[in-house]
Structure 1
Amino acid sequence: MTETLTVLTLACSQVGLAADGAGLIRAGENALYRLRSGIVARVGRHGQGEVAAKEVRVSLWLQQAGVPVVQVVPDIQQPVEVDGRAVTFWRELPGHHEGGIEQVADALKQIHELQPPPELALPPLAPFVRLEQRIAEAKVFDAADRGWLIDHLRYLTDQYGMLPTGLPHAAVHGDAWGGNIVTVGPDQPPIVLDLERFAYGPPEWDLTSIAVDHLTFDAMPRDAWSRFCTRYGYEVTEWAGYEVLRDARELRKVTFAAQMAAQRPHLEAQARYRLACIRGEHGPRPWHWIPAA
């Protein structure tokens, strides 16, 4: 039995749920399991109890604000702590797929128009959270490459502290892309998932995330970015602080690929390619990065 499954089994026993037959959905930074009772359990990393508690608070708050969002299972005191790992329980969604570009714009606009109450205790946006750790653990890179990444991280951290004025700060998703804003069918509103990075900060961070999908990954049809900007009502790439947030987002993508390569060796080449791109070795964007999840 894996560590996460052991943690899940103990957490389920504390709240009266059955863990037998639990099926692994995804093993990334967090592990997701499907339980027989139509519940999805999320097993967090060590020491992430406050983050898990925030996710529960945010889900309840967004529901009250009228934002369609993944819902916690009611009548369970969450998160459940087991050996330093936090477990949360969520209602399983019906069959769903990535939201269309207009749906993503609508969901982000709705979130960004919200001003969270003080009792929600949203943390400030932390664009560089865990990056130093990821770089230190990135065995796919040699010491010189890791040194360059640390220097790049420090430079971007300094630049982030000097961002020019932009949109008013608000609630932000923190990890916005079509896979975290999904739809369950035609004419249905988009549903917001994965609240781990939910924070208070510049909405441009979420908008830049979508821009990187288009301008770095080249993952959208040619007119999709224009449709997104029109729908949302703002063109983030014209903002003076855009390049800082773009480079920060791309750095996260590089380190994520390196992290995943430790589990999936076929991603080592992609991690090295991403690093070479941000070092200027492959010309201008788009770089046609492939997913590393």
Structure 2
Amino acid sequence: MSLTTVDPSGGLTRDNLRSLLAAVCAGTGLDPAHAELIKFTNNAVFRLAADPVVVRIAGSTAARERVDTVVRVACWLERHRFPAVRLLAGVEQPIRLDGQVITLWERVQDNGPRPDGAQLAGLLRRLHRLPPPPGGLPPWSPMDEVRRRLAEPEELSAEDHAFLLRECDEVEASLAGLRFVLPPGVIHGDAFLGNLIAGRRGPVLCDFDSTSVGPREWDLTPVAVGRLRLDYPGDDHAPLARRYGLDVMGWEGFPVLRRLRELKLVTSVLPILRSNPAVRAQWEHRMRTYKAGDLTTRWQPYQ
């Protein structure tokens, strides 16, 4: 589905996000009044007030290039009755608006109990048993994603840009030497508790931007890194490891996957550093400690 609206060439600022939201709602019969911007990092995500719908606007070239796969994965999971978010029925998706790419989702009432690591592990075990969708999935290519972000940064110094490009080269070389212990297959690609929604009938999985075919160890890494690096309450890694049957932190290749995960956490907001000033202080903190090789200082989630 294609629509024409305001020219968004000035970047995804909060003002033109509202214009994009108004245009897509006008074209689909939805009401944008009092919509809440609940996330603005890799993607901008609005929760509509008048309709049980979530609007997701891809926030970078890399994110826009993945949306067709996101739609295909969502349809495939629905066919398998997998507990995941569902695309809004009756609308041809994705929607393209003057170079921007938008998807519409059924809103999940997130009033259930907080999901934990064991529940995420159960969903991952179930996901990892599924056959790939018709037409397959892209191969796991984490460095391609990071390099695309580095190709369109906002307000990144030349020194930091050069450092991050060197990191890409070093991490890629280290990845090539890993010997994984689990068989490769379908992976979520960004499996942490922030991508579970606490539905009334149990948690449901969301965010399929990184879904691909790759090493299952990668799906166990985000929660492990979250325990070591991010200031989350409690420990979700231990129950995840017990339920899944592998403690990825005890595997010899984990330091490489940790470095990759932290590199992705540092670079994730580069395309919107100027557009969303609220992330700047936390990004600078992450960049400073990552660049110094500091593995102990805690990071906070982007707001």
Residues 1:20 and 1:182: Cα distance change in structure 2 (over 3 Å): closer
Contact 1:46-1:84 at 8 Å conserved across structures:
no
- Summarize the alignment of residues 1-293 of structure 1 with structure 2, pairs less than 5 Å apart: 2-35=15-48, 36-45=50-59, 50-96=65-111, 98-119=114-135, 121-135=136-150, 142-185=157-200, 188-217=201-230, 219-221=232-234, 224-256=236-268, 262-263=274-275, 267-282=279-294, 285-293=295-303
Q: Give the aligned residue type for 2:52.
A: G
Contact 1:213-1:220 at 8 Å conserved across structures:
no
How far the C-alpha of 1:277 sits from its partner, in A, is: 3.0
Q: Residue 143 of structure 2: SS of its match in structure 1?
A: coil
Q: Give the aligned residue type for 1:289.
A: W
Residues 1:53 and 1:258: Cα distance change in structure 2 (over 3 Å): closer
How many Å separate the matches in 1 of 2:277 and 2:289?
A: 20
Residues 1:52 and 1:93: Cα distance change in structure 2 (over 3 Å): same
Of structures 1 and 2, the one with the larger relative CO (CA 8 A, separation 6+) is 2
How far the C-alpha of 1:133 sits from its partner, in A, is: 4.8
- 1:175-214 CA-partner distances (Å, limit 9, x unpaired): 11111012224xx332001112211111111111111001
Q: Give the aligned residue type for 1:33.
A: F
How many Å separate the matches in 2 of 1:49 and 1:134?
A: 12
Contact 1:107-1:181 at 8 Å conserved across structures:
no
Contact 1:49-1:81 at 8 Å conserved across structures:
no
Q: Give the aligned residue type for 1:38.
A: P
Q: Residue 68 of structure 1: SS of its match in structure 2?
A: coil
Q: Give the aligned residue type for 1:104.
A: L
Contact 1:46-1:86 at 8 Å conserved across structures:
no
**Paired positions, count:** 287
- Give the percent of matched residue pairs that are identical in Structure 1 and Structure 2: 30
Q: Residue 40 of structure 1: SS of its match in structure 2?
A: strand
User: Structure 2: any 5+ residue segments left out of the alignment?
Assistant: 1-5, 7-14
Residues 1:225 and 1:22: Cα distance change in structure 2 (over 3 Å): closer
User: Structure 1: any 5+ residue segments left out of the alignment?
Assistant: none
Residues 1:114 and 1:3: Cα distance change in structure 2 (over 3 Å): same
How many Å separate the matches in 2 of 1:201 and 1:156?
A: 16
Residues 1:84 and 1:233: Cα distance change in structure 2 (over 3 Å): same
Residues 1:46 and 1:262: Cα distance change in structure 2 (over 3 Å): closer
Q: Give the aligned residue type for 1:233.
A: G
How far the C-alpha of 1:69 sits from its partner, in A, is: 0.5
TM-score of the pair, normalised by structure 1? 0.85
Residues 1:264 and 1:63: Cα distance change in structure 2 (over 3 Å): closer
How many Å separate the matches in 2 of 1:268 and 1:37?
A: 32
Q: Give the aligned residue type for 1:183.
A: A
Q: Compare 126-135 and 258-267 and name the one that shifted more.
A: 258-267
When the two chains are superposed, the root-mean-square deviation of aligned CA atoms in Å is: 2.7
Residues 1:136 and 1:53: Cα distance change in structure 2 (over 3 Å): closer
TM-score of the pair, normalised by structure 2? 0.82
How many Å separate the matches in 2 of 1:21 and 1:272?
A: 32
Q: Compare 44-53 and 27-36 and name the one that shifted more.
A: 44-53
Q: Give the aligned residue type for 1:204.
A: E
